[in-house]
Amino acid sequence: MYLPRPLLSKLYLHLISTRHPLSPPVLLLVALDPDALCACRILTRLLKNDYIPHKIQPVSGYGDLERVGRELVSPMMEQNGGAGGVVVCLGVGGMVDLGAVLGLEPEGEDTTFGGVEVWLVDSRRPWNLANVFGGFPLEPETEFASSYQARTPHGVTGGRIDRAYKPGKGGIVVFDDGDIEDELTPQKEAYVALIEMPDLEDNGEDLGDSDSESEDESQDNNTFGAAPVTGQKRKSWSILDDDDDGSDGDTRPRQRRRSNSSSSIPATPERPKQRGLVSIGEQALTSSNTQEEEPPSAAQPPKGPSAQNLRRRLLRLRRKNEALLQDYYRNGTQYSEPISSMIYSLASDLGREDNDILWLAIVGVTSMELYGRSSAGVNVPVKNSDSRSTTGWMGMRGARIRQLLRDEVRRLNPPELNGSNGRLLPEALGVIPTSARSPEDHSIRLSPEPRLLMVRHWSLYDALLHSPYIFSRLKTYGEPGLKRLHKFLAKIGISLVQCKQNYAHMDIGLKRELRSKLLKQGPLYKLDDLVPAVETDGKDRGGAKDGWGFVRSWGWRATLSAQDVGVVIGALLEVGKHATLSTPTLHEGSSQLVDDIDEALIEQGEEWVPRFWDAFDALENIEALKEGLPTAQFLHKAIFTTGTALLRKKQIKHLMSFRMCVVKDNIEAAIFNHPGALMKLALWIGEALAEQEKEATGRLAQGGRGTPLVVASLNEKRGVYTIVGTGGGGGPDVTFLDKEALRKKEQAKQDRAKAKEESRRNREKIRVEKRAARRAAKNGDDEDEEEEDDETESEGSDASDSDSDDDEDDDREELRGKGFGLNRFGTAFQDVIAETSARVRIDSFEHCVVEVRKEDLSGFLESLSSKVVVG
């Protein structure tokens, strides 16, 4: 079930009112990424202020999530001796059935959840619909409440929680950022329809099309419309009953998708298992059975369809709904609103927002861009020259989120028009702030941040050299590119001596003029977006400061931008505080890859968890954050040198549907065994390849998207390759996220449905009137009258089928439009696993990360090359 955004604070307020000293602590399951880390920091601040005990548990993947479910979540259930409680999943489990993974819905047991309530906040899409429209304990079955819908908890309608809902009985609650109500209406209708359908065995037979359905209806009328011959038995519903006898041939899906650590995205939609359901189809069967024993009458209308034809219709409807859900799951993966922004919205609804919480939300949102997480999945941020779409992270939605954050900064940090001495502040003149205004200055400011990496913390030259934007535009991975960079510095009038010293120690005059020079000379080197516009340029929308970044000071101790903090936190998670280039040593048996968590994985988890706590402490300890700056510099130097080597040596191969490269036989290769570090390397290389492609052809291939890229890194210790697949950029940034357009489209669809329903009713009315008139006149023999009735029924059925086909085509077309440009590596990986014998492990929460045994890499890539990896 899902919690709509207007009710975001409902559950938290209930938690406050029901907590007491003996209550079990709230369990926080946190993914190992900066966005989830920031959301965790915000939520723990709220819990501490309300004196609510809590426990934080970092989770590295699906295998770790199952272990946490067994060891920590299941013991909380009342039937296991626990007292219930609340589990909050931050960036964990949105794409799998949490009830099954955490052990809250044991197989074969009616008692579920046991008072454990799971709050699910995740930005990854697609949702597992079992969490969204199910995930609640059913009410006891009674004579008057036996269907699934009738047994839903009070206050839950179609999976949606309203104000009448009373927490406490347990269940899975998905925090909706607005997408569920705005975009998942077709999926909701299909999911609910599948729940209410009777259990039918589908042997895969050909059910034909709408024409054959019309023929079935004609046969029904011919068979049941006339009185039976003496001694002839009517057809009963035994055909349908025989199919549902619970025999071994029944392959009906379970209630929910049962997921394990080797799968992250539902390969096919599964219909939920019914628990004492009485569906519309079964009611129709019951009423028809009752009518069979009535004596025939001349004035009695024709009987209903036969059991076989009714079964065929139900199977057609089931297949249609299952196809709709399958399209949703296989359309591609993407990212929605960052969870740090969602938790900040919760704090805002509670009236608890302050500078510290706002800064954590800003860092979390900024970190999403660093990892290429957009509305088109993990993709390269490329821009097509002839594209009118909004560029940048998440397109329209990203622009709105950043603007809301800028408004919050102005509200909580009133801007000073003049400095203490009456002069304009440096950022007002376009100068990058590098120090606080006073020893007590802890404010957040808007700053015209250039697209340079950590410019305050090393030299301007290093910031230019290690920026992915400069790396791809000036091609600094080759000697001509380095010469081009030196020429660019000469154009803006900065010598290499000044450029290679620490930025804080550069000449103040050069720093003041730097921005204006970059704006003037940047377009000559295709660096149009190197620096943002400022209000004095006349390009800003009423002071909105589009493209401006965020900076915070901690007195005289430090001044860092949100991007600096995101880079440092990510580096602490990926390579650790004490990063080295030591080559891992092999030990006997370490090359085996098994399905269970082996010794090497346990060692890896034990290594990643301390990194989590280092990053967690650094978020609120400025000294620890400053100590992480060398780690971030070390990581990005490794990315630059490795990416440069791959491009210079032309080690990037072009396969059928993507390009690929392998990182191995390199002293820095061990750094990229972590999926996050490998993903950053893939984004650097992918952006450079996109610019090469654009320069060679004058535009981006594949409808405004760059070529997808697969990067593999060899883990010598475990004998496996870690593989990351990134999309080519582009995607539905504008059309997919334009809520107003989606609302208009949905309204138009509803209007068409009403018109079709009215037309159907008119046809039915005319059909009844004609039938009554023929019977009253009693002209012609009974056979001609029956044939005419059959013809009328067939015409009505054809029209109804045509309307149904139109609706289905509209749904498919809408889904295809939404799926344009999405990253489909997750489904492609699963297809390869199903088709080949490659030993593969999918354990990361990222859809585009997979582990393949060393010996199976070539076969895995060969099969993958024939798949569709970008929508």
**Over 60: is that where the pLDDT of 535 sits?**
no
- pLDDT of 583: 38
Confidence class for position 623, pLDDT limits 50, 70, 90: very high
Confidence class for position 199, pLDDT limits 50, 70, 90: confident
Write down the residue that tokens 């990058």 correspond to.
432
The residues near 480 (Cβ < 8 Å, ≥ 6 apart) are: none
How many whole angstroms separate alpha carbon 870 and alpha carbon 279? 39
DSSP 651-691: --EE-SS-EEEEE-SSTTGGGGGSHHHHHHHHHHHHHHHHH
Q: How many CB atoms lie within 10 A of CB 488?
A: 19
Q: Distances from the Cα of 510 to the Cαs of 266, 425, 494, 504, in angstroms?
A: 56, 17, 7, 11
- pLDDT of 276: 35
How many whole angstroms separate alpha carbon 372 and alpha carbon 360? 19
- pLDDT of 718: 87
Q: Distances from the Cα of 435 to the Cαs of 354, 642, 871, in angstroms?
A: 22, 34, 46
**Over 80: is that where the pLDDT of 145 sits?**
no
- pLDDT of 12: 96
Task: Check residues 399 and 812 and name the one with the higher pLDDT.
Answer: 399
Task: Check residues 292 and 23 and name the one with the higher pLDDT.
Answer: 23
**Over 70: is that where the pLDDT of 269 sits?**
no
Confidence class for position 690, pLDDT limits 50, 70, 90: confident
**Over 50: is that where the pLDDT of 736 sits?**
no
Q: How many CB atoms lie within 10 A of CB 771?
A: 17
Residue 281 CA, chain-centre distance (Å), reads 35
Confidence class for position 139, pLDDT limits 50, 70, 90: confident
**Over 60: is that where the pLDDT of 425 sits?**
yes
| Residue among 162, 222, 236 at smallest CA distance from 2 | 162
Confidence class for position 287, pLDDT limits 50, 70, 90: very low
Task: Check residues 536 and 80 and name the one with the higher pLDDT.
Answer: 80
Contact, 793 vs 218, CB < 8 A?
Answer: yes
Q: What is the mean pLDDT of the chain?
A: 78
- pLDDT of 268: 42
How many whole angstroms separate alpha carbon 487 and alpha carbon 500? 15
How many Cα neighbours within 13 Å face the side chain of 217? 19
Mapped onto helix, strand or coil, the DSSP state of residue 610 is helix
Q: 413-422, 647-656, 673-682: which has the minimum mean pLDDT?
A: 413-422
Contact, 532 vs 449, CB < 8 A?
Answer: yes
Burial (0-12, 13-18, 19+ Cβ within 10 Å), 290: exposed
| Chain segment 558-617, per-residue pLDDT in tens | 999 999 999 999 999 999 887 654 433 333 333 333 344 455 555 665 677 889 999 999
What mean pLDDT is predicted for residues 277-292? 38
Region of residue 788 (left: phi > 0; alpha: psi -120 to 50; beta: else): alpha
Position 813: which residue type?
Answer: E
Burial (0-12, 13-18, 19+ Cβ within 10 Å), 719: middle
How many whole angstroms separate alpha carbon 426 and alpha carbon 446? 11
What mean pLDDT is predicted for residues 496-505? 89
What mean pLDDT is predicted for residues 97-121? 87
Quote helix, strand, coil % in the chain, to nearest 5. 50, 10, 40
Per-residue b/e over 366-384, b at no fewer than 16 CB within 10 Å?
A: bbbbbbbbbbbbbbbbbbb
**Over 90: is that where the pLDDT of 672 sits?**
yes
Q: Is pTM, for the whole model, over 0.85?
A: no
For the chain, the structural domain boundaries read 1-221+250-290+305-316+335-351, 739-806
Confidence class for position 361, pLDDT limits 50, 70, 90: very high
How many whole angstroms separate alpha carbon 635 and alpha carbon 646? 17
**Over 60: is that where the pLDDT of 219 sits?**
no
The encoded tokens of residue 104 equal 């809250």
Angle CA 316–321–324, to nearest 5? 125
- pLDDT of 303: 63
What mean pLDDT is predicted for residues 427-433? 75
| Residue among 640, 821, 825 at smallest CA distance from 726 | 825
Confidence class for position 745, pLDDT limits 50, 70, 90: low
